[in-house]
Amino acid sequence: MANMSSVKNPMPSQEPDIRNKNFDEVALGYTEQQALDEAARCLNCKNKPCTQGCPVAINIPEFIKETAAGNFEKAYEIISQTSSLPAVCGRVCPQELQCEKYCVRGLKGEPVAIGRLERFVADWHNAHSTESAVRPESNGHKVAVVGSGPSGLTCAGDLAKKGYDVTVFEALHLAGGVLVYGIPEFRLPKDIVQKEVDGLKALGVDIETNVIIGKTLTVDELIEDGFEAVFIGSGAGLPSFMGIPGEALNGVYSANEFLTRINLMKAYKDDSETPVMHAKRVAVVGGGNVAMDAARCAKRLGAEEVYIVYRRSAEELPARAEEVEHAKEEGIIFKLLTNPTAILSEDEKSVSGIRCVEMELGAPDASGRRRPVVKENSEFDIPLECVIMAIGTSPNPLIKSTTEGLETTPRGGIVVNEDGLTSRDGVYAGGDAVTGAATVILAMGAGKTAAAAIDRKLSGKE
Amino acid sequence: MNKLLKKRHLNPTVTLFTFEAPLIAKKAEPGQFVIIRPNENSERIPLTIADFDREKGTVTVIVQIVGGTTADLNAIPEGEYIRDVAGPLGKATETDGLKKVAVVGGGVGCAIAYPIAKKLTKLGASVDFIVGFRNKDLFFLEEEFTAASDKLVIMTDDGSYGEKGLVTDALKKLIEDGANYDEVIAIGPLVMMKFVAKLTKEYGIKTVVSMNPIMIDGTGMCGGCRLTVGGKMKFACVDGPDFDGHEVDFDEAIRRNSVYKEFEQEKACRLLNLK
């Protein structure tokens, strides 16, 4: 008999007032008892609506059934059949827009906490499994993967499991892409990412750090070197700024820079050599996950007032619901329907404030969201010392400019077909390099699609 | 991990490092840079490539030891390893079609200007190489500089070597004497490049400067290296590091380079056990 409670088992978490002063993980994960209880809420629907909402099509009712029976390792095996990074996805997927959105239990009450269960199963496996991955026999085909973020790791993992000799080229000194430079420790501990990377190495994947494709080597050189297919998962690129006065002032960061200093370079630790500003009052411009991460990091560095400045309303905030919730609990102040018009300085050197106008929602625009328009005579200033721009990125030009015949959109995103194939034979792409800033799970889905297409091509099934 | 093959102290604060980096050596061109992280906890810092040997697979950087990270690099003995080196990054200096060029270097910037002078000379251009140092003790690489140019003009602030004065004094004199340059390439402290650009603007001579702002990734991801050039935002790592000296907002660049001054001073104090 299913557990008919209309609400999810709550996620044990650090208290907001404690966690907003440390970088330890916020959500602590279900206990076995909570996992068993939550898994029992699943009705095991025959038509599995939840699975349709998953970009990597995890067999969700099946893994939950095994979880409810206490067969956690079996549950892990089911997830692993289609997902290569379960401990990551359980933490960072926007489940409310994916699997949980379609859960039948959500019609009357809260859906089954699929994401929390996925995390529980993955963490249980990591804590208890003694088996190390077995390197499959090589099929003799060499594939290059550019970038070690979610799309690259997924593509590499899927191909390595099939016996391909995969080399991953990473521009930074550490593998993981946005999982290490972007998403903070308190949301995704870095040892979890490292475990996933180590898992790939155990499968025989070679990871070459400090190699910038488009500079150190080109895509054409990879092909000349004998790689039969190349997957480009180089991620998002140049950070966008608003083009308002004052963006060159000291104290203005792109979210990429602020987060990279903190997450990749560990600037929050005393023994790190990389500096970062510890401002008392900070504004983060934008409403996505990156904006939430930047705001919560600023708070943890000791800021007393941290504002999220977003030009639309709460309903349009692109961030995961849980991140918005967590940010609010931690004392982040939301200035919604507010848009900056200038960054101010008293000494013409450092930031002293931000000038904003209030907005109201007009008719829907091309994105279907109601377009924010400026409210007359609504200008006001907020005094502060640091402004972080988290308003997106545009694709990195390095690969496009060094790969002849690689078609891109007017915005610079790489053009691909439904298999992830680019305009160049044997060259595939996926993730933010194609779509612009999106989610971890969509990038993983793209890596998966491309891996399947590469396998079909190189194994002669196509 | 890149093996440090050679370390040579050029003056009390400037050191030359040659290390193994075959892939970078294969591609490097004058004007490009590498990102180096000496140790596991180090910062990532951009360093301009001073020389490379494609056959031996080596790359050379010449570095002023100014802060924690450069001191960490300086502490690595020959035969040991540098934790991370990535590159070559940035665009190479444009040399096509140049016939008569003044290359102007200031301090450690002379070491960075050197491969450009060398390349231009090799391509058959006539190169006047103007180098500026505070005094004779800080001067280095005279032989190399001489070989890389038609005319080497040495300037020191105190007149202890070469002529007394600033590089802009020497450049002005050469221009006035009818040098008729196609282009001036200036590499050195921001203030020096600012004044070189100011001078050449008066004469209408195209001037290229090599910017060296604060960077993290060096590949176009962080935006920390942004500059205002001709009123537009540019990223030094992917759009540069070379820019039109008449268009660069130097005052802004000078201001932005001082963002972490306090942090660096505190770090320097920690290193010296003053705190």
A173/B23 Cβ within 8 A: no
- The 10s digit of each residue's pLDDT in A22-73 is 999 999 999 999 999 999 999 999 999 999 999 889 999 999 999 999 999 9
Whether residue B274 has pLDDT greater than 70: no
B41/A275 Cβ within 8 A: no
pLDDT confidence of residue A1:
64
Stated pTM of the model: 0.93
Between A357 and B112, residue with greater pLDDT: A357
User: How would you classify the pairing of strands B183-187 and B207-210?
Assistant: parallel
Q: How far apart are CA A94 and CA A72, in angstroms?
A: 23
Look at residue A170 and tell me if it is in a domain: yes
Quote the percentage of chain B above a pLDDT of 90.
89
A398/B219 Cβ within 8 A: yes
Interface A:B, Cβ pairs < 8 A: 109
Domain boundary among A370, A391, A412: A391
Residues A220, A292 within the same domain: no
> What is the average pLDDT across A105-128?
95
Chain A interface, Cβ < 8 Å to B? 171-173, 181, 209-212, 215-217, 235-239, 241, 243, 247-248, 250-251, 253-254, 256-257, 260-261, 264-266, 271-275, 277, 349, 396-398
**Measured between CB atoms, which of B42, B89, B263 is closest to A275?**
B263
Q: Domain containing A371: what range? A: 241-391
- The 10s digit of each residue's pLDDT in B167-187 is 999 999 999 999 999 999 999
Residues of B in contact with A349 (CB under 8 A): 255
Closest CA of chain B from A203, distance in Å: 23
Q: What is the ipTM of this complex?
A: 0.92
Domain boundary among A391, A422, A449: A391
Distances (CA, A) of A273 to A210, A237, A262: 19, 25, 11
Residues A148, A97 within the same domain: no
pLDDT confidence of residue B269:
62
Whether residue A339 has pLDDT greater than 70: yes
Residues A123, A204 within the same domain: no
Look at residue A176 and tell me if it is in a domain: yes
User: Does B270 contact chain A (CB < 8 Å)?
Assistant: no
Residues A89, A73 within the same domain: yes
Domain at A334, CATH number: 3.50.50.60
Residue entry with tokens 């903070």 = A184
- The 10s digit of each residue's pLDDT in A172-219 is 999 999 999 999 999 999 999 999 899 899 999 999 999 999 999 999
Task: Note whether B21 and B2 are within 8 A (CB).
Answer: yes
Domain boundary among A64, A96, A128: A128
Closest CA of chain B from A245, distance in Å: 11
Q: What pLDDT band is residue B275 in, cutting at 50, 70 and 90?
A: very low
Residues A386, A426 within the same domain: no
A271/B223 Cβ within 8 A: no
Task: Report chain A's terminal Cα–Cα distance, integer Å.
Answer: 47
pLDDT confidence of residue B271:
55
pLDDT confidence of residue B268:
62
Residues A360, A405 within the same domain: no
Residues A216, A119 within the same domain: no
Residues A251, A379 within the same domain: yes
Domain at A116, CATH number: 1.10.1060.10
pLDDT confidence of residue B67:
76
pLDDT confidence of residue A462:
61
Residues A253, A387 within the same domain: yes
Look at residue A7 and tell me if it is in a domain: no
Averaged confidence pLDDT in chain A: 94
**Measured between CB atoms, which of A181, A250, A254 is closest to B255?**
A250
A266/B219 Cβ within 8 A: no
Look at residue A340 and tell me if it is in a domain: yes
Look at residue A3 and tell me if it is in a domain: no
Whether residue B273 has pLDDT greater than 60: no
- Secondary-structure breakdown of chain B: helix, strand, coil percentages, each rounded to the nearest 5: 30, 35, 35
Domains in chain A, number? 3
User: Does B241 contact chain A (CB < 8 Å)?
Assistant: no
Residues A360, A428 within the same domain: no
Look at residue A247 and tell me if it is in a domain: yes
Copy the structure tokens of residue A308.
């999220």
| Range in A12-16, A209-213, A269-273 the model is least confident about | A269-273
Q: How many helices (H) and strands (E) does chain B have?
A: 9, 16
> Which of B34, B85, B222 has the most A C-beta neighbours within 10 Å, making it the best mutation to test the interface with A?
B222
User: How would you classify the pairing of strands A229-232 and A142-146?
Assistant: parallel
pLDDT confidence of residue A205:
96
B235/A171 Cβ within 8 A: no
Q: How far apart are CA A33 and CA A43, in angstroms?
A: 18
Distances (CA, A) of A197 to A76, A135, A144: 18, 14, 16
Look at residue A277 and tell me if it is in a domain: yes
Residues A337, A357 within the same domain: yes
Copy the structure tokens of residue B123.
């391509």
> What is the average pLDDT across B89-110?
95
Residues A306, A353 within the same domain: yes
pLDDT confidence of residue A38:
97
Look at residue A67 and tell me if it is in a domain: yes
Strand, helix or coil at A293?
helix
In the 8-state DSSP scheme, what is residue A105? G
